[in-house]
């Protein structure tokens, strides 16, 4: 990705209107980041340590979601914590490109993954007798790889779109990491056509996924209402409500950040911090607190860790 400009690095100005709050923000964001890593690592350990859970499609996809939730906040958080602790705010041109690419790669992968997880629940509840045939190990592996493949294609397109343009100064990024809207403000060329293409691309992908998820859950709700057993209805709704909560927490920030007609820098930064740090931190709680199998497996992992520590 070649750029003929003299800009070799950018300066991250951080979250707008948070001057003199660096120490407080550092402690707050570091706490969120640590809890996010610990929570998702525990979920990962709980699933990987149980052969039965790992070979169940829902938990296999949850395992991949936990991996994404470990790496997703790691795209922007380490650099943000680095400069909040009083260090340099400079980021190299290549570092900026990497941030933008991996942010959208992991974000798009999660978006596709939520769609696949909704499809998995649709098959499990609407076609229970055919579930093991439709969601075979091979099908799950293809779907899991497909989420990463299409996430990578989308990220390459958006990154190329953003950095094919000339950056001839200024180099101050009025944000806490390199993202498309703030980077286009620094371009020394007309960006109106590219902004429209980016708007359609960033908006169309999550909207398509959301409509597919909505279709899946509409069919699921209809099927659940046909269940005569109250206990069966309760269990089905309990499983699906956890998925829907996680989906809403993931999709709402995308709508607020990328599809608003007049961007608000402070609102965007606040919502994006919640999306980058809080949502990945809450996902383990959402999926474990409503799921007896995950809680049981987690308890076993914690007990084993305690025994190792005692020895």
pLDDT tens for each residue of 37-95: 998 998 888 888 776 776 788 888 988 999 999 999 999 999 999 999 888 899 999 99
For 83-123, the pLDDT digits (tens) are 998 888 999 999 999 999 999 999 999 999 999 999 998 99
Residue 99: its pLDDT value, please?
95
pLDDT for residue 30 is more than 70: yes
For 168-177, the pLDDT digits (tens) are 878 888 888 9
* Integer angstrom CA distances of residue 184 from 191, 224, 250: 7, 47, 24
Of these ranges, 140-154, 179-193, 215-229, the one predicted with the greatest mean pLDDT is 140-154
pLDDT for residue 194 is more than 70: yes
pLDDT averaged over the chain?
Answer: 83
Of these ranges, 5-19, 136-150, 174-188, 234-248, the one predicted with the greatest mean pLDDT is 136-150
pLDDT for residue 3 is more than 50: no
pLDDT for residue 34 is more than 90: yes
pLDDT for residue 10 is more than 90: yes
Q: Say whether pTM exceeds 0.85.
A: yes
Residue 262: its pLDDT value, please?
66
Q: Which residue has the higher pLDDT, 136 or 197?
A: 136
* Integer angstrom CA distances of residue 305 from 148, 196, 298: 32, 52, 11
The answer to whether residues 251 and 202 touch, using CB atoms and an 8 Å cutoff, is: no
* Integer angstrom CA distances of residue 208 from 20, 108, 212, 246, 298: 41, 12, 6, 17, 34
The answer to whether residues 11 and 97 touch, using CB atoms and an 8 Å cutoff, is: no
> Whats the size of the chain, residue-wise?
311
Q: Which domains does the chain have, with CATH numbers?
A: 10-310 (1.20.1070.10)
The DSSP output letter for 129 is G
For 223-274, the pLDDT digits (tens) are 887 777 777 667 667 667 777 777 877 877 777 666 666 666 677 777 788 8
């Amino acid at each position: 990705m070649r750029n003929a400009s003299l800009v070799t690095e950018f300066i991250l100005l951080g979250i707008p209107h948070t001057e003199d709050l660096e120490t407080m923000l550092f402690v707050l964001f570091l706490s969120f980041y640590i809890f996010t890593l610990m929570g998702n690592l525990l979920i990962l350990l709980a699933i990987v340590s149980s052969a039965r859970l790992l070979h169940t499609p829902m938990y296999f996809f949850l395992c991949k979601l936990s991996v994404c939730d470990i790496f997703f906040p790691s795209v922007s958080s380490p650099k943000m914590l680095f400069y909040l602790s009083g260090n340099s705010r400079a980021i190299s041109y290549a570092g900026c490109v990497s941030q933008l690419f991996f942010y959208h790669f992991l974000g798009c992968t999660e978006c596709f993954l939520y769609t696949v997880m909704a499809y998995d629940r649709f098959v499990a509840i609407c076609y229970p007798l055919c579930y093991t045939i439709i969601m075979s190990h091979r099908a799950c592996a293809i779907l899991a790889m497909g989420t990463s493949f299409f996430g990578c294609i989308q990220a390459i397109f958006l990154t190329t779109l953003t950095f094919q343009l000339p950056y001839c100064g200024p180099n101050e990024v009025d944000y806490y990491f390199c993202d498309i809207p703030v980077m286009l403000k620094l371009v020394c060329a007309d960006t109106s056509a590219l902004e429209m293409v980016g708007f359609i691309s960033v908006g169309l992908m999550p909207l398509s996924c959301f409509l597919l998820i909505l279709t899946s859950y509409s069919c699921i709700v209809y099927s659940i209402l046909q269940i005569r057993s109250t206990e069966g209805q309760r269990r089905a709704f309990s499983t699906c409500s956890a998925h829907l909560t996680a989906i809403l927490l993931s999709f709402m920030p995308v709508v607020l950040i990328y599809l608003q007609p007049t961007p608000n820098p402070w609102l965007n930064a606040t919502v994006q911090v919640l999306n980058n740090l809080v949502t990945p931190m809450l996902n383990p709680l959402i999926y474990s607190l409503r799921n007896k199998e995950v809680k049981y497996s987690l308890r076993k992992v914690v007990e084993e860790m305690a025994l190792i520590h005692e020895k």
